[in-house]
């Protein structure tokens, strides 16, 4: 484990009690590169949120360290933006003010005009230009989560942490916001760490998926590289011949293997399923031509 932008090393979380200590997870190792989109999947209660909160600096591990940019994480920071499942918007502020809240905290010397312009730009990216003066209580769940995402991206953190951001949304809304997330991520090249319980969502979004075994004593058991070329969207991704192979592997893990006693993986690099060199070559070319088009 060296050159990674974010390093999680030997992380454990234990809740001590008189009868028997609860080891939620142990020896979790994760490496995330700059600009990488990493998803983590695992059954409920295996400690995903705890890991994310440790990354955010909101929670402390029992053992292990987290470093970002060679500095140890020891508390919350604007360098790590968090999107919580329950949106965490401040209900007394309207849409624009909620995003302004983040922008003002980030860019403390900006005047209010600069702040509002910056916020509006990010709200426009998630299609909320029409709802600037609405309070969160007047917004649907999907719209609230968009505000929350806009706030996180507008503060341009070095690492973006998403805790099941779409968990509470219906499938249609989720799809739309996933596309928006891909778009905004493509524009900003954020490093993202995201929890999800949706296999398809993970394949659509991630460069790499971490699979956690069940708790207690959960571990990161596998790291699966998703080599489906970008840009991806929900329509073209299922046409990729590789898609079902990955999907089956993930579902199989969750259903059959996640409860096994699995050793800790090193949570980086990881298996790429059936790497076919010819295929990889094609991907590379398409990716390059896409980049060339995008650059023009």
Partner 1 sequence: MASLNARAMLVSLVILLVLGGLWEALNQPPPASKQLTEYELMMGAADQQARVPPPSKVLAHAWKELSNPFYDAGPNDKGIGIQLAYSLYRVITGFVAAALVAIPLGFVIGMSPLMHRALNPFIQVLRPISPLAWMPLALFVIRDSEQSAIFVIFICSIWPMLINTAFGVANVRSDWVNVARTHELSQLQTAFQVILPAAAPTILTGMRISIGIAWLVIVAAEMLVGGTGIGYYVWNEWNNLDLNSVIFSILMIGIIGMLLDMALGTVAKLVEYEE
Residue 71 in the binding site for partner 1 (CB under 8 A): no
Q: Which of 113, 188, 201, 114 is nearest to 150 (CA)?
A: 188
Q: Binder to ligand ADP among 21, 35, 44, 271 (CB under 6 A)?
A: 44
- Residue 84 or 166: which CB sits closer to partner 1? 84
Q: Binder to ligand ADP among 28, 39, 41, 46 (CB under 6 A)?
A: 46
Do 66 and 5 contact (CB within 8 A), yes or no? Answer: no
Q: Binder to partner 1 among 43, 121, 135, 230 (CB under 8 A)?
A: 135
For CA atoms 111, 35, 287, 200, give the dihedral sign. negative
Q: Which residues, at least 6 apart from 231, have a Cβ–Cβ distance to it below 8 Å?
A: 182, 186, 290
Residue 49 in the binding site for ligand ADP (CB under 6 A): yes
CA-CA distance, 230 to 283, in Å (whole number)? 9
Distance in Å, CB of 88 to partner 1, minimum = 4
Beta pairing partners, 192: 37, 160
Identify the residue whose tokens are 């969207």. Answer: 233
Number of residues that bind partner 1 (CB under 8 A): 24
CA-CA distance, 46 to 50, in Å (whole number)? 9
Per CB under 6 A, the segment of 41-49, 80-88, 95-103, 115-123 that binds ligand ADP is: 41-49
- Residue 63 or 275: which CB sits closer to ligand ADP? 63
Per CB under 5 A, the segment of 44-52, 73-81, 142-150, 221-229 that binds Mg ion is: 44-52
Beta pairing partners, 28: 11
Residue 49 in the binding site for partner 1 (CB under 8 A): no
Tokens of 23: 């080891």
Distance in Å, CB of 105 to partner 1, minimum = 4
Residue 88 in the binding site for Mg ion (CB under 5 A): no
The sheet carrying 63-68 orders its strands as 22-32, 6-15, 63-68, 71-72
Q: Which residues, at least 6 apart from 219, have a Cβ–Cβ distance to it below 8 Å?
A: 25, 26, 27, 28, 212, 213, 262, 263, 264, 265
Instruction: Pick one of Mg ion, partner 1, ligand ADP, none as the site partner of residue 45 (Cβ within 5 to 8 A by kind).
Output: ligand ADP
- Residue 78 or 271: which CB sits closer to partner 1? 78
Q: Binder to ligand ADP among 136, 215, 229, 267 (CB under 6 A)?
A: 215
Instruction: Pick one of Mg ion, ligand ADP, partner 1, none as the site partner of residue 24 (Cβ within 5 to 8 A by kind).
Output: ligand ADP
CA-CA distance, 118 to 243, in Å (whole number)? 37
Binders in 6-25 for ligand ADP, by CB under 6 A: 15, 22, 24
CA-CA distance, 2 to 253, in Å (whole number)? 28
Residue 238 in the binding site for partner 1 (CB under 8 A): no
Residue 193 in the binding site for partner 1 (CB under 8 A): no
Distance in Å, CB of 125 to ligand ADP, minimum = 28
Distance in Å, CB of 164 to ligand ADP, minimum = 8
- Residue 62 or 77: which CB sits closer to ligand ADP? 62
For CA atoms 191, 99, 113, 107, give the dihedral sign. negative
Q: List contacts with ligand ADP (CB under 6 A).
A: 15, 22, 24, 42, 44-50, 215
């Amino acid at each position: 484990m060296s050159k990674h932008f974010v390093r999680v090393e030997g992380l454990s979380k234990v809740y001590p009690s008189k009868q028997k200590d609860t080891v939620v997870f142990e020896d979790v190792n994760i490496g995330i590169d700059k600009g990488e989109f990493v998803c983590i999947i695992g059954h409920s209660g295996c400690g995903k949120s705890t890991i994310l909160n440790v990354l955010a600096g909101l929670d402390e591990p029992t053992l292990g360290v987290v470093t970002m940019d060679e500095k140890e994480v020891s508390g919350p920071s604007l360098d790590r933006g968090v999107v919580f499942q329950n949106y965490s918007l401040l209900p007394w502020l309207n849409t624009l003010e909620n995003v302004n809240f983040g922008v003002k905290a980030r860019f403390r010397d900006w005047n209010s005009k600069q702040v509002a312009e910056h916020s509006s730009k990010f709200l426009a990216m998630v299609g909320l230009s029409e709802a600037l003066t609405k309070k969160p209580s007047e917004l649907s769940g999907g719209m609230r989560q968009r505000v929350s995402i806009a706030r996180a991206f507008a503060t341009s953190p070095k690492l973006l942490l998403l805790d099941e951001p779409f968990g509470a949304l219906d499938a249609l809304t989720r799809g739309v916001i996933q596309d928006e997330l891909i778009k905004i991520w493509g524009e900003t090249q954020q490093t993202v760490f995201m929890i999800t319980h949706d296999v398809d969502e993970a394949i659509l979004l991630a460069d790499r998926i971490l699979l956690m075994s069940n708790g207690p004593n959960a571990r990161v058991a596998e790291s699966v590289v998703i080599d489906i070329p970008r840009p991806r969207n929900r329509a073209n991704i299922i046409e990729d011949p590789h898609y079902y192979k990955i999907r089956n592997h993930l579902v199989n893990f969750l259903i059959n293997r996640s409860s096994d006693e699995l050793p800790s993986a090193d949570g980086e690099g990881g298996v790429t399923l059936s790497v076919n060199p010819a295929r990889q070559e094609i991907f590379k070319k398409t990716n390059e031509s896409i980049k060339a088009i995008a650059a023009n």
